[in-house]
Amino acid sequence: MGRGRQKAKHTKVARELKYFSPDTNYSALQQELSAAEASRVREEDPWAEYASKYNADDDDED
């Protein structure tokens, strides 16, 4: 008898989660994504000079 009530409660919670649609703040999402992109570009910059230097040497071997 207790299992039926527990299952009904889980079903209710699952249904609420499935159909829940919060308001999305697109401007905040855009700022967060652009900040992540900018930090990723900054991480790659220190190696760019070394990559170009050694890529130029690789072309001479062919």
Q: How many domains does the chain have?
A: 1
Alpha-carbon distance 15 to 35, whole Å?
35
pLDDT at 34: 87
On whether residue 12 sits in a domain, the answer given is no
On whether residue 48 sits in a domain, the answer given is yes
On whether residue 5 sits in a domain, the answer given is no
Nearest CA-CA partner of 2 in 10, 42, 36: 10
Domain span at residue 34 reads: 24-62
On whether residue 15 sits in a domain, the answer given is no
On whether residue 28 sits in a domain, the answer given is yes
On whether residue 41 sits in a domain, the answer given is yes
Q: What is the pTM of this model?
A: 0.34
On whether residue 8 sits in a domain, the answer given is no
For residue 25, the one-letter residue type is N
For residue 56, the one-letter residue type is A
pLDDT in tens, 21-59: 888 899 998 998 888 777 665 556 667 777 777 776 555
